[in-house]
Amino acid sequence: MTQLAVTGYASLDYPVALSGRAEGNATTHIKWRSAEDWPRLGGCPAYVAAAAVSHGVTASPVCWTGANREGDLFVSALEKKGVSTAGVDRIAGERAPSAMLIYQSDGSCICLYDPAFGGAETLTDVQARVIADAENLCVTVGPGHLMDAILAARNPQGRLSWVLKNDLNCFTPEICRRLSADAEIIFCNRHERGLIAETREDVLIVETQGAEGVVVERCGERTEIAVEPVSALDTTGAGDTFAGGFLGAWSSGVDDPVEAARCGIADVRSLLVERSGGHLE
């Protein structure tokens, strides 16, 4: 049985750092891109699952990629991290989901995402079984048209976690109400907090605040956890890595949410330190 199933969009990421800002009808030089990890594994489910398995739990992304060379790269990258690929569906075609991550000199980032399939994804019987058999279902962003099917497939006796993202195509007001009411753990940042509707009384809300730290709230109790900032330019996946580290610790027996949050913080730090060589701010 999979301890953690994570639904959402797949991606192969192509991150670059610019020497200036991208402008229309002009050329801007790339000052950095990886010579080895380009493209690299991306997408919310991959980051969550990869962090979770580092804590000794079994995790399976439920996502969609191409039945092509790009899809092979995506699946191979998951396998190298010890992540199950049982929930990865391969769709025929010339493209696979991918993202250009363009870090500009002013610190902003442009994300250009190609979902590739135009809503052609379906929840297969195999994927539905992965969701139903999981002790914990973690819902991340995408695909919007499958949210009802994903929630219908889950074991109502299992745990439900939600990694919020401000994407109204996926998290419609109705889906937000359903996830808010049923989720045991909700991960968000301060800008996404307003999307949370009425929750269960014992919900655990974990709010990330960037360099200012993390806030853990349950039953009216609020704990602020400081973090040691890492001056890394490429922060893509940090929030999902935090959620995966938290859920990995939680699933492996860490029942103190503050301690689980510290595990997630440590995983994010490891990710950013690993990336910092060659493109520190």
What is the H or E stretch that residue 113 is in? strand 109-114
Among candidate residues 243, 248, 237, 244, the one with its CA nearest the CA of residue 274: 237
pLDDT by residue for the chain (281 residues), tens only, comes to 679 999 999 999 999 999 999 999 999 999 999 888 899 999 999 999 999 999 999 999 999 999 999 999 999 999 999 999 999 999 999 999 999 999 999 989 999 999 999 999 999 999 999 999 999 999 999 999 999 999 999 999 999 999 999 999 899 999 999 999 999 999 999 999 999 999 999 999 999 998 899 999 999 999 999 999 888 888 999 999 999 999 999 999 999 999 999 999 999 999 999 887 634 44
Ranges of each domain in the chain: 4-276
Among candidate residues 41, 53, 46, the one with its CA nearest the CA of residue 8: 46
CB 158 within 8 A of CB 136: yes
CATH 3.40.1190.20 for the 4-276 domain, yes or no: yes
How do beta strands 30-32 and 11-18 pair? antiparallel
